[in-house]
Amino acid sequence: MSYQTALPIADVINDVHQKKYLLPAIQREFVWSTFQIERLFDSLMRDYPINSFLFWKVQKEHVKEYEFYEFLRDYHERNKRHNPKANVGGEEEIIAVLDGQQRLTSLYIGLKGSYAFKLPRKRYDNSQAYPERKLYLNLLSPSDNPELEFSFLFLTPKEAGANDENHFWFPVGKILDLKELHQVNQYLLENDIFTNHCKEKAIFANQALSKLNQIIHLKPTISYYLESSPVLDKVLNIFIRINSGGTILSYSDLLLSIATAQWQHKDAREEITKFVDEINEIDGGFNFNKDFVLKTCLVLNDFPNIAFKVDNFNKSNMLKIEKDWDVITKSIRLAVNLISSFGFNRDTLTSNNAIVPIAYYLKSIGLPENYEVSTHYIQDRADLKKWLIFSLLKRVFGGQSDNVLRIVRKAIQEKPGSFPLNHIIDQFKGTNKTLLFTDEDIENLTWSKYGQSGTFAVLSLLYPSLDFRNKFHIDHIYPKSKMTERHLKKKGIAKDDIETYVSYTDFLGNLQLLDAIPNIEKQNKEFDTWLTSLYNEDEIKDFRKKHYLPNVDLSLGNFIEVFNKREKLIISYLKKLLQMESSTDMIQDKII
């Protein structure tokens, strides 16, 4: 590896445009924000160092041995986040960027490309929410941001056209056409900078544009080292040494990079990225990432060590994952669809790791067809649902999650045929990861509040017979809009009770799961009025039983009694369900 003569930015950007610089598969994708790009250009204008780069010269006879990607040219937050795969013919050598991708991509976007990010308060799926923006430099005054000296901003064409006495927005990419200093002066003259603005602003504009010309065309800014070795292992070691010491590249990015470099027939980066996007779109939507998929790969392939370490991503392990990729994805997909049928989504699934044993178990029984709905697997699904809820409520994946995954995997191996919930409970009995609930644990569940991510898990225990393929809302039994001091005073609630009413409103004792349509119809009606208008006497009796409502007056004036007695009913049911000896049969009276 040798240090090379530094290059001007314009030359390197031209070579990126000509696809002479590419990205090896071990690189992650572009992640910089518009402000980071603006700050990079400001640093260049202030002669700050932007650190050296590391390039890898791949001789033409070795080009076809590796996968390469093009630089991202026009970034779009929704539609263009992934680098396109490069079409390399092996007729010329390639310069691959090992270190400096974010900076080079930022320079290219600032000079030749564009950046589209979502406008606030616009829907994610609204195509109008992502206007294309290019980088501009205000030639008339410095930045009003204390972190910057020069005012670089990504603007839409309309925003850039709003020039006034303090703003003249110069399209930064235009500097590539202004190669000579006299062209800079000519541009300023043609745009009346000297005639339409005071001497001070004209001098600032001349200095700013001349400086930009210098740093893009004249100053040798791109200092770099060049590695010429054709040995991938050596290149990987260099890449790891550069990137694993800091936080610029996450460890999972690095591991994905290694997997990508070692798969033979599939593109790991492309496959995993696409699969993460797919499972995140299932039903209510989820928040999985590549870390989850990589970890699940290690568990499902029965590797003894499932830690995120480079040693576990060796060639033999990666080739086994590649070979089993279709089975792995089917296992994860089935597991995600299953927990979605339990009613969970990105807002209520508080630990993605809780799904890994489910995927492992489903793989172990051969990924049966129609598992989510088949009557043959009713008991199995009930136990899997309990595992999911118990592990979420007990937070068993908080710290040392690898050890939990290994223990559960071993328990599944030891008791084949059906999901061994009781056996799993046995493995953690007496440890700080116990899945058994004390009286205090259960009473603490009643402190679950509306809006907290774990509240749905508790409610799903209380409503085991619901078919969560339908939509259910977490609903305030007594509407929150009625629990205001003004309304309660108007209804004649005693002053001493009003504070209690308000403080109880969002807790479990006042929450229920309600079908979406009845909940919409219910809206802000008084609870007892809504109930009697919708149901007859027998139906109200069934409603009380289903929703743990005591046989007392349900009017607003009796809210505190209803709340306290309902809490007791809930606690009583949860004790029957959750307080069990691990070797006994599970309570099934309300579970499907």
According to the 3-state scheme, what is the secondary structure of 377-436?
HHHHHHHHHHHHHHHHHCCCCCCCHHHHHHHHHHHHHHCCCCCCHHHHHHHHCCCCCCCC
| Exposure letters 24-42 (e unless 16+ CB within 10 A, then b) | bbbbbbbebebeebbbbbb
Q: Are 36 and 248 in contact (CB under 8 A)?
A: no
Position 178 scores a pLDDT of 95
Q: Are 173 and 17 in contact (CB under 8 A)?
A: no
Is 347 part of a structural domain of the chain? yes
Position 517 scores a pLDDT of 67
Query: Hey, CA dihedral for 140, 144, 150, 156, is it positive or negative?
Result: negative
Say whether both 216 and 303 belong to one domain. Answer: no
Strands 53-58 and 94-99 turn out to be: antiparallel
pLDDT in tens, 339-353: 999 989 888 899 999
Last residue of a domain, one of 384, 406, 436: 436
Say whether both 556 and 411 belong to one domain. Answer: no
Say whether both 428 and 454 belong to one domain. Answer: no
Say whether both 28 and 94 belong to one domain. Answer: yes
Position 310 scores a pLDDT of 73
- For residue 353, the 8-state DSSP code is G
Rounded to 5 degrees, φ, ψ at 512 are -145, 165
Position 246 scores a pLDDT of 43
Counting as low any pLDDT under 50, the low residues of the chain are: 246-249, 581-592
Strands 169-171 and 74-76 turn out to be: unpaired
The CA distance from 565 to 549, in Å, is 8
The CA distance from 563 to 549, in Å, is 9
The CA distance from 312 to 470, in Å, is 41
Give the chain's domain count. Answer: 3
Say whether both 215 and 288 belong to one domain. Answer: no
The CA distance from 576 to 571, in Å, is 9
pLDDT in tens, 229-256: 777 667 766 776 666 554 444 566 667 7
First and final C-alpha spacing in the chain: 64
Is 161 part of a structural domain of the chain? no
Position 312 scores a pLDDT of 84
Domain range for 430 = 250-436
Say whether both 237 and 92 belong to one domain. Answer: yes
Q: At what angle do helices 199-213 and 34-45 cross, to 10 degrees?
A: 100
Position 346 scores a pLDDT of 87
Say whether both 459 and 528 belong to one domain. Answer: yes
Is 313 part of a structural domain of the chain? yes
- For residue 324, the 8-state DSSP code is T
The CA distance from 180 to 188, in Å, is 13
pLDDT in tens, 445-485: 999 999 888 899 999 889 887 776 667 788 999 999 999 99
Last residue of a domain, one of 227, 246, 265: 246
Say whether both 33 and 90 belong to one domain. Answer: yes
Is 396 part of a structural domain of the chain? yes
Say whether both 520 and 551 belong to one domain. Answer: yes
Is 37 part of a structural domain of the chain? yes
What are the tokens at 528? Answer: 């007892």
CA-based nearest residue to 466, from 377, 342, 338, 549: 342
From the centroid of its chain, how far is CA 29? 15
Say whether both 101 and 55 belong to one domain. Answer: yes
The CA distance from 182 to 328, in Å, is 62
Position 240 scores a pLDDT of 65
Q: Are 44 and 211 in contact (CB under 8 A)?
A: no
Q: At what angle do helices 455-462 and 378-393 cross, to 10 degrees?
A: 140
Rounded to 5 degrees, φ, ψ at 53 are -115, 160
Which SS3 state, helix, strand or coil, does residue 221 take?
coil
Say whether both 56 and 197 belong to one domain. Answer: yes
- Which residues are within 8 A (CB) of 560 and not within 5 positions of it... i.e. 6 or more apart? 497, 500, 501, 504
Position 303 scores a pLDDT of 94
| Count of Cβ atoms closer than 10 Å to residue 202 Cβ | 17
Is 144 part of a structural domain of the chain? no
The CA distance from 588 to 573, in Å, is 12
Position 232 scores a pLDDT of 65
312, burial (CB in 10 Å: exposed 0-12, middle 13-18, buried 19+): middle
| Exposure letters 223-262 (e unless 16+ CB within 10 A, then b) | bbbebeeeebeebbebbbebbeeeeebbebbbbbbbbbbb
Q: Are 53 and 99 in contact (CB under 8 A)?
A: yes
| Count of Cβ atoms closer than 10 Å to residue 530 Cβ | 17
Is 12 part of a structural domain of the chain? yes
| Count of Cβ atoms closer than 10 Å to residue 123 Cβ | 10
What are the tokens at 66? Answer: 């590796």
**Helix H segments across 214-312?**
232-243, 251-262, 268-280, 290-300
CA-based nearest residue to 528, from 478, 473, 472: 478
The CA distance from 487 to 323, in Å, is 65
pLDDT in tens, 521-537: 677 788 988 999 888 99
The CA distance from 269 to 413, in Å, is 31
Q: Which residue has the tokens 């927990």?
A: 339
Strand order in the sheet with 21-24: 2-3, 224-227, 53-58, 94-99, 21-24, 68-69
Say whether both 349 and 453 belong to one domain. Answer: no
Strands 114-116 and 74-76 turn out to be: parallel
Is 591 part of a structural domain of the chain? no
Q: Are 502 and 377 in contact (CB under 8 A)?
A: no
Beta pairing partners, 226: 2, 55
Last residue of a domain, one of 226, 246, 266: 246
Strands 114-116 and 68-69 turn out to be: unpaired
Position 582 scores a pLDDT of 34
